[in-house]
Amino acid sequence: EPEVTQTPSHQVTQMGQEVILRCVPISNHLYFYWYRQILGQKVEFLVSFYNNEISEKSEIFDDQFSVERPDGSNFTLKIRSTKLEDSAMYFCASDLRGGTDTQYFGPGTRLTVL
Amino acid sequence: SQQGEEDPQALSIQEGENATMNCSYKTSINNLQWYRQNSGRGLVHLILIRSNEREKHSGRLRVTLDTSKKSSSLLITASRAADTASYFCATAVYNQGGKLIFGQGTELSVKP
């Protein structure tokens, strides 16, 4: 069964450093998403991406964050200057039609900012 | 209350018993999806129910949706120790392009 994959599974970085989290969505899906989950809290929407542009973003997704689909398969989340409070599990997700069918999640990248 | 709130927050039952979790939401939705998360792991999709559906079954799972009350329930029948996990409802809000809004989740513990 097709699945969303994410790399790395765990990333440790120093405050102020840039990180890039990578995702490979399911190949025929057209809508891509990033969510995050701070330890012990609920999953929060960050951004949605369709047709090579951001379709919606949350208040969390400020100028420190950016997303990109650099080729036909990868979908990346960049955090330019990490802060301690960016420590969280980051999930990538994808679906076919943008909100009308199952949204599949990757296994997540645990980001630890020291 | 927030979109996608679940109750109870925690539920402890014996193997073989049924587990019922409830979710409430506030806005119009396209669909409501239930996910399971084992501690520190990814989100596993369980079932999707569309706004024009009232009930759906998948194996030992039964989901209901009441759009007039803006609520949903997830029933796991004949629970097993392996069902121990956190369960989240997530609403795909109408006209918001696929964004899912998650509830706080119900932590289910099934004792052997």
Neighbour count for residue A73 (Cβ, 10 Å): 11
Put simply, whether A106 touches B (Cβ < 8 Å) is: yes
Please report, for residues A53, B16, B71, B72, the alpha-carbon distance to residue B12 in angstroms, rounded to integers and kept in the order given: 44, 12, 22, 20
Burial label for B103, CB within 10 Å (0-12, 13-18, 19+), is buried
> Is the Cβ pair A102, B30 closer than 8 Å?
no
For A62, the token pair is 């400020």
Mind listing the pLDDT tens digit for each residue in B40-94?
Answer: 789 999 999 999 999 999 999 999 999 999 999 999 999 999 999 999 999 998 7
A68 in contact with B, Cβ within 8 Å: no
Residues of A in Cβ contact (< 8 Å) with B105: 42
Q: B85 to chain A, minimum CA–CA distance in Å? A: 13
Which residue is listed with tokens 């194996």? B59
Residue of B nearest to A110 (CA): B40
Q: What is the CA radius of gyration of chain A?
A: 13
Cβ–Cβ < 8 Å for B59, B46: no
Candidates A39, A45, A48, A61, partner chain B, best to mutate (most B CBs within 10 A): A45
Interface of B with A (CB under 8 A): 30-31, 33, 35, 40-45, 48, 50, 88, 90, 92-93, 96-105
Location of structure tokens 């980051």? A90
Q: Residue B58: which of B41, B74, B37 has the closest Cα?
A: B74
B44, B63, B106, B25 alpha-carbon torsion, rounded to 10° = 110
A100 contact residues in B (CB cutoff 8 A): 30-31, 50, 92
- The one-character DSSP state at B3 is S
Is the minimum CB–CB distance between A91 and chain B shorter than 8 Å?
yes
Q: What confidence tens digit (pLDDT) does each residue in A95-106 have? A: 998 888 899 999
For B46, nearest residue in chain A (alpha carbons): A102
Please write the tens of the pLDDT for every residue from A30-48.
999 999 999 988 999 999 9
Three-state SS letters, A18-39: CEEEEEECCCCCCEEEEEEECC
Residue B9 carries which DSSP code?
Answer: S
A95 in reach of chain B (CB within 8 A) = yes
> In the predicted model, is pLDDT for residue A79 greater than 80?
yes
Q: A57 and chain B: CB distance < 8 Å anywhere? A: no
Helix (H) or strand (E) holding B45: strand B43-50
Whether B103 and A43 have beta carbons less than 8 Å apart is answered as no
Q: What angle do CA A9, B89, A67 make, to 5 degrees?
A: 45
**Residue A5 is encoded by which pair of tokens?**
């994959």
Task: Give residue B2's pLDDT.
Answer: 44
